């Protein structure tokens, strides 16, 4: 239902865009007579293509950055794009970049797995049982507003400097969106489908596995995406202070050495890894839940 409505409105939007174009295309004819009008229209189409628009916006950003860098002429505060690019190449050739990326990435995977191991079973029990929910929910609502970063000082006392602290912080950050989306997904799973399975003599445990789980999956995957984004943002802060390795550590290390191009190079890598992972998660969602339309997830 929602899908078809979305499709119709999309079609309608496309339709208006077409008509808008047609109106523009007609105007030059009446003015210039027989001149071909195809040219400007095709150009306009090209400039609408998402790949072209994003490349353009990216280019504008780099140019603006470069202009400000030249104007301020302070390579420590703002290194120029070529300086950052060459730093990025050096770090990559050196192998240091990949070492730090893999250290942080492995921490991310461990923390996501730990968060999922806690959040999914708890989310299912909270979603299925109002009683469990009434006990656990108040506690969680109290913890949730506390940023993961707030636990870093205490974490330093408990775990010391090392790999455990960032993993703990990330797992904490990832836990809440995973849990809340699991609860929402389980609660939102279609009651009619559960009823249908019950009338077919399917046992409650199997109903959870075969009906509630797939029904909740699209929402759970959205939770995983939110969790991932939050965890990846938190890892930098955690490694900045509490770790002798990883991307956050590298940023802090080069800051102390006043090597801004390297700091910027690492920041770009943080963004690139985060973006790639999100794309992969979206791909995973399409593979795992091909029946769920994008519209429902928005």
Binding site for another protein (CB under 8 A): 3, 190, 192-193, 195-203, 206, 210-211, 214, 289-292
CB of 292 to another protein, least distance (A): 8
Q: How far is the CB of 297 from another protein (least distance, A)?
A: 14
Shortest Cβ 210–another protein spacing (Å): 6
Looking at the Cβ atoms of 184 and 193, the one nearer to another protein is 193
In the complex with another protein, the residue whose CB is nearer, 218 or 261, is: 218
Taking only Cα atoms into account, the Rg of the chain, rounded to an integer number of angstroms, comes to: 25
Instruction: Classify residue 176 as exposed, middle or buried by CB count within 10 Å of its CB (0-12, 13-18, 19+).
Output: buried
DSSP label of 24: H
Q: Any residues with CB less than 8 A from the CB of 97 and at least 6 apart, and which? A: 88, 91, 265, 266, 269
Report the candidate in 242, 85, 41, 35 with the shortest Cα–Cα distance to residue 152: 242
The minimum distance between CB 122 and another protein, in angstroms, equals 24
Max distance between CA atoms of the chain, in angstroms, equals: 80
Whether residue 263 contacts residue 213, with contact meaning beta carbons closer than 8 Å, is answered with no
Q: Dihedral through CA 71, CA 76, CA 81, CA 82, nearest 10?
A: 110
Tell me whether residue 71 or residue 192 sits nearer to another protein (CB atom).
192
Closer CB to another protein, 73 or 200, in the complex: 200
260 is written with which tokens? 């801004």
Q: Of the two residues 222 and 263, which places its CB atom closer to another protein in the complex?
A: 222
Closest distance to another protein from the beta carbon of 185 (Å): 13
CB of 191 to another protein, least distance (A): 9
| Shortest distance in whole angstroms from residue 263 CB to another protein | 46
Nearer to another protein, 145 or 201 (CB): 201
User: For residue 222, what are its two tokens?
Assistant: 């959205």
Cβ neighbors of 243 (< 8 A, separation 6 or more) are 161, 162, 163, 165, 166, 249
Question: Of the two residues 111 and 189, which places its CB atom closer to another protein in the complex?
Answer: 189
């Amino acid at each position: 239902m929602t899908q078809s409505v979305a499709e119709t409105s999309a079609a309608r939007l496309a339709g208006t865009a077409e008509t808008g174009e047609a109106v523009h295309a007609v105007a030059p004819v009446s003015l210039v007579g027989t001149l071909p009008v195809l040219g400007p229209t095709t150009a306009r189409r090209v400039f609408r293509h998402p790949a072209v628009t994003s490349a353009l916006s990216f280019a504008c950003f780099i140019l603006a950055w470069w202009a400000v860098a030249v104007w301020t002429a302070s390579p420590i505060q703002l290194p120029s794009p070529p300086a950052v690019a060459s730093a990025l190449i050096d770090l990559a050739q050196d192998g240091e970049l990949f070492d730090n990326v893999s250290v942080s990435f492995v921490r991310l995977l461990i923390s996501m797995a730990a968060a999922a191991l806690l959040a999914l079973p708890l989310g299912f029990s909270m979603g299925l049982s109002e009683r469990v929910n009434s006990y656990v929910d108040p506690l969680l609502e109290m913890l949730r507003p506390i940023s993961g970063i707030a636990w870093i000082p205490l974490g330093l006392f408990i775990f010391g400097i090392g790999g455990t602290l960032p993993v703990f912080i990330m797992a904490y950050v990832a836990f809440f969106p995973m849990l809340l989306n699991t609860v929402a997904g389980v609660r939102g799973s279609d009651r009619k489908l559960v009823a249908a399975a019950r009338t077919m003599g399917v046992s409650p445990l199997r109903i959870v596995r075969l009906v509630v789980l797939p029904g909740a999956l699209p929402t759970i995957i959205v939770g995983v995406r939110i969790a991932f984004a939050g965890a990846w943002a938190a890892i930098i802060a955690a490694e900045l202070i509490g770790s002798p390795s990883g991307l956050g550590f590298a940023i802090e290390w080069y800051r102390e050495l006043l090597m801004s191009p390297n700091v910027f190079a690492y920041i770009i890598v943080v963004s690139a890894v985060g973006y790639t992972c999100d794309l992969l998660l979206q791909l995973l969602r399409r593979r795992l839940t091909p029946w769920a339309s994008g519209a429902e997830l928005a």
